[in-house]
Copies of this chain bind each other. A is one copy, B any other.
Amino acid sequence: MIEATDFRDAMSLLAAAVNVITTKGAAGLYGFTASAVCSVTDSPPTLLVCMNQAARSHGHFIDNKILSVNVLGAQHEALSNAFASNLSTQDRFAHGSWTTLATGAPILQDALVSFDCIIEDITEVGTHSVFMCRVVGIRHADPKNSIDDDTYDGTDVSTDASTGESLVYFNRAYHHVGQVKHIETL
C-alpha cells in the first residue's frame, strides 16, 4: 500500500500549470486554485478538472453546472495564493480583473488563456470528483483574441499573439516558464 504522504511527495515532481477555476450561478460565486487540470479531447473540445469533494464550494460547482479554467501567468502568484487561501469569495475575487464569456463564469482578464465550460459529466474517485467539461468559449490574454459561441467569426485568433510566461508549480515552488513573444512585425 502506497502511503498518501509518499504519493504526494512523488506527485510534487509532476510539474503543472497553475489555474484558477471559477463558477457563478444560482448556487453562488466561487473560485479556487487548481493544478489538476488537463486536456481530454478536441472532438468535442473537452478538458477535465479534479476537485476535492471536501472543498466548501464543491457542491456549488455541481449545482451551477458551469465553470471556467483561467491559466495563470507569471504575474499571478499573489492571485494564485489568494484563491488557495482561507479568504472569503469576495476577498478572493478582489484580486484580478474579471469578465465573462458564454456561461457567466468569471474569466480573468489577463489569464494566458481561459476556457469557459459546461460541466458535462462527473466521475467520483476516492475523495475527489473529476469534472468532464465541454469548452464553449475561449479567451486569450489579448482582448481581441476572444471566442465564444455567439460572436466567433473564425478570424480573430492568432497563434502569433503575445504569449506571456506560464506560472508552473513544481517541487512545491512556483516557476516561470516560457518567454514573452511579440511577433507583430512578421
Question: CA–CA, A16 to B170, complex, Å?
Answer: 10
For the complex, is A48 an interface residue (Cβ under 8 Å from B)?
A: yes
C-alpha gap A45/B14 in the complex (Å):
14
> Which residues of the partner chain B approach A42 to less than 8 Å between Cβ atoms?
4, 7-8, 11, 127
Closest residue on chain B to residue A125 by CB atoms: B40
B6 contacts A157, CB within 8 Å? yes
Does A4 lie within 8 Å of B40, measured CB to CB? no
Beta-carbon contact of B6 and A147 below 8 Å = yes
A32 to chain B, nearest CB (A): 15
Q: In the complex, what's the smallest C-beta–C-beta distance from A5 to chain B, in angstroms?
A: 8
Number of this chain's copies in the complex: 2
Residues of A within 8 A of B (CB): 1-4, 6-17, 19, 35-48, 50, 52, 71, 112-113, 115, 121, 123, 125-128, 130, 132, 135-138, 140, 147, 149, 152, 154, 157, 159, 163, 166, 168, 170-171, 173, 175, 177-178, 181
A173→B159 CA distance, assembly (Å): 14
Residues of B within 8 A of A123 (CB): 121, 123, 130, 132
In the complex, the answer to whether B178 meets A45 with C-beta atoms within 8 Å is no
Q: Determine whether the beta carbon of A170 is less than 8 Å from that of B178.
A: yes
Q: A44 to B128: give the CA distance in the assembly, Å.
A: 10
Identify the 9 closest CB pairs spanning chains A and B, nearest first.
A7-B45, A41-B126, A4-B42, A41-B128, A15-B166, A15-B17, A13-B113, A36-B38, A11-B39
